[in-house]
Amino acid sequence: MKKSSLCLSIAITVVGIICLLIAIFTETVFDGLLWGFTGAFLGIGIASMVKFFYWASPKNGERYKEILEQQDIEVNDELNIIIRDKAGHLAYQFAYIAIVVSIMIFGFLGKAGMLTNHMIFVYYLIGLLVFLLITYVAAFNHFRKKIAG
Protein backbone atom coordinates (compact mmCIF):
# COMPACT_ATOMS: atom_id res chain seq x y z
CA MET A 1 0.00 0.00 0.00
CA LYS A 2 1.05 3.59 -0.50
CA LYS A 3 2.56 5.60 2.32
CA SER A 4 0.23 8.46 1.35
CA SER A 5 -2.76 6.37 2.46
CA LEU A 6 -1.12 5.93 5.87
CA CYS A 7 -0.49 9.68 6.11
CA LEU A 8 -4.11 10.36 5.18
CA SER A 9 -5.29 7.86 7.81
CA ILE A 10 -3.18 9.56 10.46
CA ALA A 11 -4.49 12.99 9.43
CA ILE A 12 -8.10 11.78 9.60
CA THR A 13 -7.45 10.30 13.05
CA VAL A 14 -5.91 13.59 14.23
CA VAL A 15 -9.00 15.48 13.03
CA GLY A 16 -11.11 13.01 15.02
CA ILE A 17 -9.00 13.61 18.13
CA ILE A 18 -9.31 17.37 17.66
CA CYS A 19 -13.11 17.05 17.38
CA LEU A 20 -13.09 14.88 20.51
CA LEU A 21 -11.10 17.44 22.48
CA ILE A 22 -13.31 20.30 21.33
CA ALA A 23 -16.43 18.31 22.23
CA ILE A 24 -15.06 17.48 25.69
CA PHE A 25 -13.71 20.90 26.66
CA THR A 26 -16.34 23.20 25.16
CA GLU A 27 -20.06 23.47 25.49
CA THR A 28 -21.77 24.69 22.33
CA VAL A 29 -24.85 23.94 20.31
CA PHE A 30 -22.60 21.91 18.02
CA ASP A 31 -21.73 19.26 20.62
CA GLY A 32 -23.87 16.62 18.92
CA LEU A 33 -22.19 17.28 15.59
CA LEU A 34 -18.74 17.25 17.18
CA TRP A 35 -19.40 13.86 18.80
CA GLY A 36 -20.64 12.56 15.46
CA PHE A 37 -17.57 13.88 13.66
CA THR A 38 -15.39 12.36 16.38
CA GLY A 39 -16.86 8.92 15.82
CA ALA A 40 -16.74 9.20 12.06
CA PHE A 41 -13.19 10.51 11.78
CA LEU A 42 -11.75 8.24 14.46
CA GLY A 43 -13.54 5.20 13.05
CA ILE A 44 -12.42 5.84 9.49
CA GLY A 45 -8.87 6.83 10.49
CA ILE A 46 -8.25 3.87 12.78
CA ALA A 47 -9.86 1.40 10.36
CA SER A 48 -7.70 2.76 7.52
CA MET A 49 -4.55 2.44 9.59
CA VAL A 50 -5.40 -1.15 10.55
CA LYS A 51 -6.09 -1.92 6.90
CA PHE A 52 -2.78 -0.35 5.88
CA PHE A 53 -0.73 -2.36 8.36
CA TYR A 54 -2.62 -5.57 7.55
CA TRP A 55 -2.02 -5.32 3.80
CA ALA A 56 1.51 -3.91 4.16
CA SER A 57 2.70 -7.00 6.05
CA PRO A 58 4.89 -9.33 3.97
CA LYS A 59 2.57 -12.32 4.43
CA ASN A 60 -0.34 -10.48 2.76
CA GLY A 61 1.61 -8.72 0.00
CA GLU A 62 0.97 -11.30 -2.73
CA ARG A 63 -2.75 -11.55 -1.93
CA TYR A 64 -3.00 -7.75 -1.97
CA LYS A 65 -1.46 -7.62 -5.47
CA GLU A 66 -4.01 -10.17 -6.69
CA ILE A 67 -6.88 -8.12 -5.24
CA LEU A 68 -5.54 -4.95 -6.90
CA GLU A 69 -5.29 -6.71 -10.27
CA GLN A 70 -8.86 -8.01 -9.93
CA GLN A 71 -10.14 -4.55 -8.99
CA ASP A 72 -8.32 -3.03 -11.97
CA ILE A 73 -9.96 -5.53 -14.29
CA GLU A 74 -13.41 -4.84 -12.80
CA VAL A 75 -12.98 -1.07 -13.02
CA ASN A 76 -11.74 -1.05 -16.62
CA ASP A 77 -14.06 -3.76 -18.00
CA GLU A 78 -16.08 -2.31 -20.89
CA LEU A 79 -19.34 -3.94 -19.80
CA ASN A 80 -18.94 -2.57 -16.25
CA ILE A 81 -18.21 0.89 -17.65
CA ILE A 82 -21.40 0.82 -19.74
CA ILE A 83 -23.47 -0.47 -16.80
CA ARG A 84 -21.99 2.23 -14.50
CA ASP A 85 -22.80 4.93 -17.04
CA LYS A 86 -26.39 3.74 -17.43
CA ALA A 87 -26.86 3.42 -13.66
CA GLY A 88 -25.43 6.91 -13.11
CA HIS A 89 -27.72 8.37 -15.75
CA LEU A 90 -30.74 6.65 -14.21
CA ALA A 91 -29.82 7.93 -10.73
CA TYR A 92 -29.40 11.42 -12.21
CA GLN A 93 -32.90 11.26 -13.73
CA PHE A 94 -34.41 10.05 -10.43
CA ALA A 95 -32.66 12.90 -8.62
CA TYR A 96 -34.33 15.39 -10.97
CA ILE A 97 -37.72 13.80 -10.35
CA ALA A 98 -37.19 13.77 -6.57
CA ILE A 99 -36.16 17.43 -6.55
CA VAL A 100 -39.12 18.55 -8.67
CA VAL A 101 -41.56 16.54 -6.52
CA SER A 102 -39.98 17.99 -3.37
CA ILE A 103 -40.37 21.52 -4.73
CA MET A 104 -44.06 20.87 -5.33
CA ILE A 105 -44.58 19.27 -1.91
CA PHE A 106 -42.87 22.12 -0.05
CA GLY A 107 -44.84 24.63 -2.12
CA PHE A 108 -48.16 22.95 -1.32
CA LEU A 109 -47.34 22.54 2.37
CA GLY A 110 -46.31 26.18 2.58
CA LYS A 111 -49.44 27.46 0.84
CA ALA A 112 -51.58 25.23 3.08
CA GLY A 113 -50.01 26.86 6.13
CA MET A 114 -48.38 23.66 7.38
CA LEU A 115 -44.85 25.03 6.93
CA THR A 116 -43.49 28.42 7.81
CA ASN A 117 -40.60 29.80 5.78
CA HIS A 118 -41.13 27.12 3.16
CA MET A 119 -39.74 29.30 0.40
CA ILE A 120 -36.18 28.82 1.65
CA PHE A 121 -36.54 25.10 0.91
CA VAL A 122 -38.11 25.78 -2.46
CA TYR A 123 -35.36 28.22 -3.44
CA TYR A 124 -32.68 25.80 -2.26
CA LEU A 125 -34.17 22.96 -4.32
CA ILE A 126 -34.54 25.19 -7.37
CA GLY A 127 -30.89 26.19 -6.98
CA LEU A 128 -29.92 22.53 -6.70
CA LEU A 129 -31.92 21.74 -9.83
CA VAL A 130 -30.22 24.54 -11.76
CA PHE A 131 -26.81 23.43 -10.44
CA LEU A 132 -27.43 19.85 -11.61
CA LEU A 133 -28.49 21.06 -15.03
CA ILE A 134 -25.45 23.34 -15.42
CA THR A 135 -23.00 20.66 -14.29
CA TYR A 136 -24.62 18.11 -16.62
CA VAL A 137 -24.38 20.43 -19.63
CA ALA A 138 -20.81 21.45 -18.76
CA ALA A 139 -19.68 17.85 -18.30
CA PHE A 140 -21.43 16.75 -21.48
CA ASN A 141 -19.80 19.51 -23.51
CA HIS A 142 -16.39 18.84 -21.95
CA PHE A 143 -16.49 15.13 -22.77
CA ARG A 144 -17.96 15.79 -26.19
CA LYS A 145 -15.01 18.06 -27.08
CA LYS A 146 -12.54 15.64 -25.54
CA ILE A 147 -13.83 12.66 -27.53
CA ALA A 148 -14.57 14.49 -30.78
CA GLY A 149 -11.51 16.67 -30.85
In order along the chain (149 residues), what is the average pLDDT of each group of 10 residues?
88 96 92 94 96 88 88 87 90 92 91 88 93 91 85
The reply to whether 121 and 140 lie within a common domain is: yes
The reply to whether 55 and 12 lie within a common domain is: yes
The reply to whether 68 and 81 lie within a common domain is: no
Q: How many domains does the chain have?
A: 2
Domain stops at, among 75, 98, 116? 75
The predicted pLDDT at position 124 comes to 93
pTM of the predicted protein model: 0.61
DSSP conformation class of 57: S
Q: Which domain holds residue 69?
A: 3-75
Nearest to 48 by CA among 89, 3, 90, 111: 3
The predicted pLDDT at position 99 comes to 93
The predicted pLDDT at position 84 comes to 87
The reply to whether 60 and 30 lie within a common domain is: yes
**Nearest 5°: phi and psi at 28?**
-130, 175
